[in-house]
Amino acid sequence: MSFVDKKVAVLGSTGSIGTQALEVIEKHGLQVTALAAHSNITLLAEQAKQFHPQTVCIFNEEKADDLRKLLAGEGIEILTGMDGLCQIAGSGRQDIVLNSVVGMVGLKPTLTAIDAGTDIALANKETLVAGGALVMQAAAARGVTIYPVDSEHSAIFQSLQGNAGNKIRQIILTASGGPFFGKKKADLTHVRAADALKHPNWDMGAKITIDSSTLMNKGLEFIEAKWLFDLDPSQIEIVVHRQSVLHSAVEFEDYAVIGQMGVPDMKIPIQYALLYPHRVDCPTRHLSLTDYGSLTFEKPDLETFDCLRAAIDAITEGGLRPAIVNGANEEAVAHFLRDEIGFLEIGQLVREAMTHVEGGAVHTYDEVLAADQAARAYVRERIEKR
Ligand code: NDP
Ligand code: MG
């Protein structure tokens, strides 16, 4: 199939990844089968009028009537809630589902798309953090490919091309270090959401921007890499690389290191996931290494950024522990974004939830959901009792 005939459903179309994906889709004239968002009906309706999907889903049911008015006469089916997301993901109408919703809410649609035998371009890292074992087993059983969108994982995926059968010694997972690189805990006591929302290299949604400032994002990516590339945690080295030019690399058995570089622009990994294996013009920019002059590499500070340590400990322990860490983090970040807790409390709450919420082995989606909800409830209770 030529890539221009590809049919794509975009879950999370109004977000940072979703809107950039639609730029790529528009450039190459791919067909859009469905679009989904949480609440932003204005942009969702605009996108629907431009891309003519058969179906749209607005997760927040209270917005559905207004969306119906905005799309009156367009002949577009309007769905709501998790059922709507899963109806789209499992419809079999598309060649690939781009999952770019934020949070563990993306897990069920991912599993549903896999059940339908549809490939997935996965930006929604919380899917793999909370339910990595379930997702990878289901994808293998169904013969479904998961194309990573996260820039680091795309870089690893790209570095692995042409290397089937060659053994990975380790992967180098690069991290920008976020806006608070070099700071110690004492410097971070008074950080507010507005400070943490200023990322040096990437323009992203609020949740991932906060995760980048606590380095939880790198912890989530550590877990994501373990699942996507079937690695032992000891094979993943996190390296702080402030310029975000080397997007990650693979060291093979012969000690050759192959990485992928490019300007920090998500459209490159988004396009590779959607058009794989084609490399064609992309709506981005040239990388001038001489403009950068030098690239730097340093060790991460696991004492200051204890979310990162919590995530590494969670996947090393395994079972439901990563789902608990993820759920606690989602809840804590939501409170931090409303300025209800301090910056350092995010890490404290995540670590506490990690030790106090009951774990165990993972067999089913319901177990993952229960662990996620227990972790969120624990964090809410701790915040209320302060
Ligand atoms: P944004 O917050 O910018 O966008 C999130 C999108 O998901 C919005 O379209 C939002 O709709 C939608 N959404 C949220 N909840 C639901 C729901 N329950 N049902 C349907 N749609 C929903 O996030 P990002 O685009 O930054 O990130 C998306 C995912 O990609 C995250 O998991 C993130 O970690 C990952 N990622 C992002 C990168 C980036 O550069 N932005 C890089 C690598 C990974 P609405 O607009 O209505 O709220
Ligand atoms: Mg990333």
pLDDT for 384 beyond 90: yes
Measure the CA dihedral 127/3/171/239, to 10°: -80
Reported as a single tens digit per residue, the pLDDT across 197-225 is 988 888 899 999 999 999 999 999 999 99
For residues 354-363, average pLDDT:
95
Q: How far apart are the CA of 207 and the centre of ligand 1, in A? A: 8
- Nearest protein Cα to ligand 1, atom 4: 15
Mean pLDDT score across all residues of the chain: 97
Q: Provide the sign of the torsion angle of the four alpha carbons 193, 195, 199, 204, taken in this order.
A: positive
Assign 186 a pLDDT band (cuts: 50, 70, 90). Answer: very high
How high is the pLDDT of residue 31? 98
- Residue 33 and residue 91: Cα distance in Å, rounded? 10
How high is the pLDDT of residue 247? 98
* Contact present, 201 and 244 (Cβ < 8 Å): yes
For residues 340-369, average pLDDT:
97
**Non-local CB neighbours of 375 within 8 Å, separated by 6+ positions:** 323, 324, 325, 326, 327, 328, 331, 353, 357
Buried b (16+ CB within 10 A) or exposed e, 362-373: beebebbbbbbe
What is the chain's alpha carbon radius of gyration, rounded to the nearest angstrom?
20
Helix, strand, coil percentages, rounded to 5, for the chain:
50, 15, 35
- Nearest protein Cα to ligand 1, atom 17: 38
Which structural domains are found in the chain, ordered by start?
3-148 (3.40.50.720), 166-265+294-384 (1.10.1740.10)
Q: How far apart are the CA of 159 and the centre of ligand 1, in A? A: 26
**Non-local CB neighbours of 251 within 8 Å, separated by 6+ positions:** 168, 169, 170, 171, 172, 257
**Non-local CB neighbours of 34 within 8 Å, separated by 6+ positions:** 9, 10, 11, 53, 54, 55, 56, 57, 88, 91, 93, 94
pLDDT for 266 beyond 70: yes
- Residue 384 and residue 113: Cα distance in Å, rounded? 38
pLDDT for 60 beyond 70: yes
Reported as a single tens digit per residue, the pLDDT across 18-39 is 999 999 999 999 999 999 999 9
Q: How far apart are the CA of 221 and the centre of ligand 2, in A? A: 7
- Residue 138 and residue 127: Cα distance in Å, rounded? 13
How high is the pLDDT of residue 386? 86
Order of strands, sheet of 96-99, starting from the edge strand that comes earlier in the sequence: 77-80, 55-58, 31-37, 7-11, 96-99, 119-122, 146-148
Say yes or no: CB of residue 40 within 6 Å of ligand 1: yes
pLDDT above 90 as % of the chain: 97
Say yes or no: CB of residue 217 within 6 Å of ligand 1: no
- Residue 86 and residue 106: Cα distance in Å, rounded? 10
- Residue 254 and residue 196: Cα distance in Å, rounded? 41
How high is the pLDDT of residue 202? 80
Assign 1 a pLDDT band (cuts: 50, 70, 90). Answer: low
Amino acid at 336: F
pLDDT for 122 beyond 70: yes
pLDDT above 70 as % of the chain: 100
Order of strands, sheet of 168-175, starting from the edge strand that comes earlier in the sequence: 236-240, 168-175, 246-252, 257-261
Assign 2 a pLDDT band (cuts: 50, 70, 90). Answer: confident
Reported as a single tens digit per residue, the pLDDT across 128-174 is 999 999 999 999 999 999 999 999 999 999 999 999 999 999 999 99
For residues 48-72, average pLDDT:
98
- Nearest protein Cα to ligand 1, atom 2: 205
Q: How far apart are the CA of 150 and the centre of ligand 2, in A? A: 5
